Amino acid sequence: MEFTYKIALEDLVAFNRFLLDRSSLMRVAFFTAWLVVPFLCLISFLALVAIDGYSNVTLFLALVGGLFLVVFPLLFPLIHGPLISFYLRLYMSSLDLRGMVGAATLIFTDESVLEVTERTRSEYPWKSILSVETTDDHAFLFVTGISALVLPRKGFADESQFYTARDFALSRFKAQGGPNNEKTMPEEGFGHG
């Protein structure tokens, strides 16, 4: 079974976001920023009052700081994900992504999956696939803990080809006795608006 599709920069951003969303370290960083930043602002204001007293400048800063203390915890979860995606996109745009972005062909057999891109030709026995994980728009066939074959729904000429490829990968992975790591996550993961 052979599938040809296109991988876009956005698909690599989505894959990296998927990895970050699964990371417990990212959750710690998210909650730390969400809670610590307002706390540090409050401590700074109290230090300013202790040093400067209740001057007009201090009262103005208290008003601005109070507004920040209310708005930041509400907005941070909404801007965190898009900001991470923006920085991933910015960074990846500066790299040579030939072989990662562009046309790709997957050839599925009962024994293996072969990926052919502009620069690579890689074959993986189904038993070496660590997991097959899906979102609304992607399927990821993990070959290591941090690398995967990326199947983007929008990269296929016909959406039904994506579902056929995804379903075949899931069935072969399970048939080969792979660990039961299949996961389904919504496209927007943890802490992202």
- Please give the residue that has the higher pLDDT: either 48 or 165: 165
Beta carbons of 120 and 98 less than 8 angstroms apart = no
- Binned at pLDDT 50, 70 and 90, residue 134 comes out as very high
Q: Flag the least confident range among 62-76, 97-111, 134-148, 171-185.
A: 171-185
Beta carbons of 175 and 127 less than 8 angstroms apart = no
How does pLDDT run across 11-51, given as a tens digit for each residue? 999 999 999 988 888 888 888 888 888 888 888 877 877 77
- Binned at pLDDT 50, 70 and 90, residue 53 comes out as confident
How many angstroms separate the CA atoms of 45 and 7, rounded?
49
How many angstroms separate the CA atoms of 90 and 12, rounded?
12
Q: How many CA atoms lie within 13 A of 11 on its CB side?
A: 24
Q: What is the CATH number of domain 2-8+99-181?
A: 2.30.29.30
Q: Report, as an integer, the average pLDDT of 132-150.
A: 93
Q: Where are the domains of the chain?
A: 2-8+99-181, 14-93
What distance separates the 2 farthest-apart alpha carbons in the chain? 76
Residue 150 pLDDT exceeds 60: yes
Residue 179 has a pLDDT of 56
- Binned at pLDDT 50, 70 and 90, residue 3 comes out as very high
How does pLDDT run across 55-107, given as a tens digit for each residue? 777 778 777 878 888 888 888 889 888 999 999 999 998 988 887 889 999 99
Q: Report, as an integer, the average pLDDT of 103-120.
A: 92
How many angstroms separate the CA atoms of 159 and 51, rounded?
64
